[in-house]
Amino acid sequence: MILLEVGYKKDLITDFLEMPVAIYANYPNWIRPLNQDIEAIFDPKQNKLFRGGSSAMRWVLYNESKVCIGRIAAFINSKTSEKEVIPTGGIGFFECIDNTEAAKLLFDAAIDWLKQNKMQAVDGPINFGDRDRWWGLLIDGDYPPNYSCNYNPPYYKALFEGYGFQTYFKQYTYYRSLTKPLEQSVFDRAQRIKNTPGIVFEHLRKKNLKKYTEDFRVVYNKAWVKHGVPEMTKSMASGLMKKLGPVMDERIIWFGYQNDEPVAFLVALPELNQIFKYVNGNLNWLGKIKFLYHKLAGTNKKMLGLVFGVVPEWHGKGMESALVIAVGEKLLKGYVPYTEMEMNWIGDFNPKMMRVAENIGAEIKKVHATYRLFFDGRPVEYHPVL
């Protein structure tokens, strides 16, 4: 077998992008990621991490017949590696035939590079960037992946664990049919909130985006900063809304108010893979035409719940359920076109968010695992509960 560094060689970049196609030929639930999304991660002009001293390397693996049979990337995110007591790098974008020797060659190359760069441990498979994308190995739930989420054959679990990787934490994807009524006890709690004097619910309206951006920021900071999350500034909130703008559907971003003060939000987006599955991994001019067609045709019936935010004084009282009911009422009237919702990336170390999902009648549909490996062989301590 022959292992090559990808670098900026166009033919190797093409093989890195095309290699998974053969792996997933018999996996009908696979939705090919966009080439443009993958390449943006490794482009210093697009990934700002490269400007902060972070680095990345990619490899492709060939058999004796010069057929590409595997790929992997390794990276050092200077922002996160410095926070760890033990300097920890990452690997990701791993794809490989069902062959232990091939997987070992890929893992060895990535880990040797991390060692050379003074790392002492590795997490994987993860993203060279934010956690909301390409994070974790699918270990349960053979369903189509949501946009920018990992999907992989079942045998990858054995390849990772056979090499010595140990589970650091698990991530749950929750599912809820929006046409399914809430349990009566949950509905009653939500209804009491809706009937509370001064409480109103409304969805975002783009013409007043500046107002809703600030409402989002206020609730976000009250809800999350005490849990160790950095405070969101006005510029950060504005940048986030600007980023969401091209795919935003104002009908599924909802806010709760008490006497005109924002106390809760539900931010959801159309689940883009329901459309991207028709473009075959390439958002070129033809892909954009296909995307626009399916968007206008209303092909997508699934929304992706990104985040709930509830100020502390309303925790545990059913505010999340009340927001879902508000969406559901619009659904029944034909105003909201979505019939199902999924919520990605709820860590098993975050029981509060798990309860939020369960309180709105959602159930675990997919499980991803984030693995860790210490280079000195020490056992991995499980991620602490928040």
The partner residues of 96 in beta bridges, in order of sequence, read 70
350 to 52, 133, 307, 317: CA distances (angstroms): 29, 18, 13, 18
Q: Is 189 helix (H, G, I), strand (E, B) or coil?
A: helix
Distance, CA of 198 to CA of 343 (rounded, Å): 29
Residue 225: band (very low, low, confident or very high) from pLDDT cuts 50, 70, 90 = confident
List the structure tokens of 318.
Answer: 């059913």
The DSSP-derived string for 236-274 is HHHHHHHHHGGG--GGGEEEEEETTEEEEEEEEEE-THH
Q: H or E element: which one contains 74?
A: strand 68-76
- Is the fold of 2-170+369-374 the same as that of 179-338? yes
| pLDDT exceeds 80 at position 334 | no
% of the chain surpassing 90 pLDDT: 68
Find out whether 295 and 332 touch, Cβ atoms under 8 Å.
no
- Decide which of 270 and 84 is more confident: 270
Burial class (CB in 10 A: 0-12, 13-18, 19+), 99: middle
Would you call 127 helix, strand, or coil by DSSP?
coil
pLDDT computed for residue 219 by the predictor: 94
Lowest-confidence segment of 32-36, 92-96, 155-159, 245-249 by average pLDDT: 245-249
Whose tokens are 């053979």? That residue is 142
Domains of the chain, by residue range, sit at: 2-170+369-374, 179-338
Q: Residue 217's pLDDT band (boundaries 50, 70, 90)?
A: very high
Q: What is the mean pLDDT of residues 17-22?
A: 96
> Which of 10-19, 273-282, 307-316: highest mean pLDDT?
10-19
**What are 52-97's pLDDT values in tens digits?**
889 999 999 999 999 999 999 999 998 776 677 899 999 999 999 9
Looking at residue 121, the DSSP 8-state letter turns out to be: E
- The top-scoring range by mean pLDDT among 16-20, 224-228, 232-236, 340-344 is 16-20
Say if residues 314 and 350 touch (Cβ distance below 8 Å).
no
Which of 383 and 178 is assigned the larger pLDDT? 383
Q: What is the pLDDT of residue 227?
A: 62
Checking if the pLDDT of 332 tops 70, the result is no
Full-model pTM: 0.90
Average pLDDT, the chain: 91
In the numeric block, which tokens belong to residue 317? 């009282």
Query: What single string gives the DSSP state of each residue in 21-45?
Result: HHHTTT-TT--PPPHHHHHHHT-TT
Domain 2-170+369-374 of CATH type 3.40.630.30: yes
Q: What is the CATH number of domain 179-338?
A: 3.40.630.30
Give mean pLDDT, residues 137-156. Answer: 97
Element of type H or E holding 59: strand 55-62
